[in-house]
Amino acid sequence: MAGVQASTLEQDIAGARRVLGHRNLVFVGLMGAGKSAIGRLVAQMLEIPFVDSDHEIERVSRMTIAELFEAYGEAEFRALETRVITRLMKTGPRVLSTGGGVFMNEATRSRVLKSGLSVWLKADLDILWARVSKRDTRPLLKTANPKQTLSDLLDQRYPVYALADVTVQSRDDVKETIAAEAIAAIARLAGGQDEIQIS
C-alpha cells in the first residue's frame, strides 16, 4: 500500500475511534450485505471487540438460527434477539454486526440511533442473491421463490435501513476496501454530531 494511502487509513482509524468513543458501531442491512464479514474486519482495524448478534444468539441458546425458527417461530426468535441487542448496547465500544431484522424493530432502532453509531451496508439485489443463494441456512428465504422474497424484503426494509447514521455501498470489491470506506465515513462524522452517551 502506498505511504499516502496508509497514512490516510491510519488517520481515518484514529478519527473513527475518536468519533465512536464508548459507543457501539452497529452494522445493519439485508442478509448477505456483509455485516458479519465487514464488521469483523472493521473491528480488527479499529482494535475493538467484535460481536455478531446472530452468533451471540446461537451461543446463548445453543441452537442455530434455523433451529430457533423451527422450534419456537419467528416471534420468539425476535424476542431473544431484542434481549441480546439490548444487553450488548449497554456497554462499548465494540463492533456489533446485527441480524438483518434487528434494525426493523422500532424500539431497538431507537436505542441504536440514540446510543450507538449505525452503518447501513447497502447492496443491490443481484449481489445479495449471489451471496445468500450459496447457503440455505436463512429461514426467511425458505420460500417458493426466495429471490422474490429477498426483493420484497429489500423494498420493505431499505427505507428503514436508510435511517442509519452512515450508508456504505457493499459490492464485489475487496472486503478491506469496503471496511476502509466504512471507517472513513465514520471519521467524517467528527464534529457533525454531539457526543451521545450510552444509557
Grid cell digits, residue 197: 452517551
Quick check: 63 binds ligand SKM (CB under 6 A)? Answer: no
Quick check: 53 binds Mg ion (CB under 5 A)? Answer: no
Grid cell digits, residue 84: 441480546
Q: Strands, DSSP E only, in the chain?
A: 24-28, 50-52, 95-97, 116-122, 166-169
Cα-based distances in Å from 9 to 14, 32, 123? 9, 26, 23
Report whether 32 belongs to an annotated binding site: yes
> In angstroms, what is the minimal distance from the CB of 71 to Mg ion?
21
Residues 83-112 binding ligand ATP (CB under 6 A) are 97, 99-100
SS3 191: coil
Which range, of 14-22, 94-102, 162-170, 189-197, touches ligand SKM by CB under 6 A?
A: 94-102
SS3 118: strand
Instruction: Indicate the residue type of 192.
Output: G
SS3 161: helix
Report whether 157 belongs to an annotated binding site: yes
Quick check: 170 binds Mg ion (CB under 5 A)? Answer: no
> In angstroms, what is the minimal distance from the CB of 19 to ligand ATP?
23
Q: Between 30 and 49, how does the x/- string for binding to Mg ion read (CB under 5 A)?
A: -----xx-------------
Report phi then psi at 33, rounded to 5: -70, -25
Q: How many residues make contact with Mg ion (CB under 5 A)? A: 2
Residues 13-32 binding ligand ATP (CB under 6 A) are 29, 31-32
Report whether 131 belongs to an annotated binding site: no
Do the Cβ atoms of 151 and 125 come closer than 8 Å? yes
Spatial CB neighbours of 197, under 8 Å, sequence gap ≥ 6: 115
What residues form the annotated binding site for ATP? Answer: 32-37, 138
Provide the binding-site residues for ligand ATP, judged by CB under 6 A. 29, 31-38, 54, 97, 99-100, 131, 138, 172-173, 175, 178
Provide the binding-site residues for ligand SKM, judged by CB under 6 A. 31, 54, 65, 99-101, 138-140
Provide the binding-site residues for Mg ion, judged by CB under 5 A. 35-36
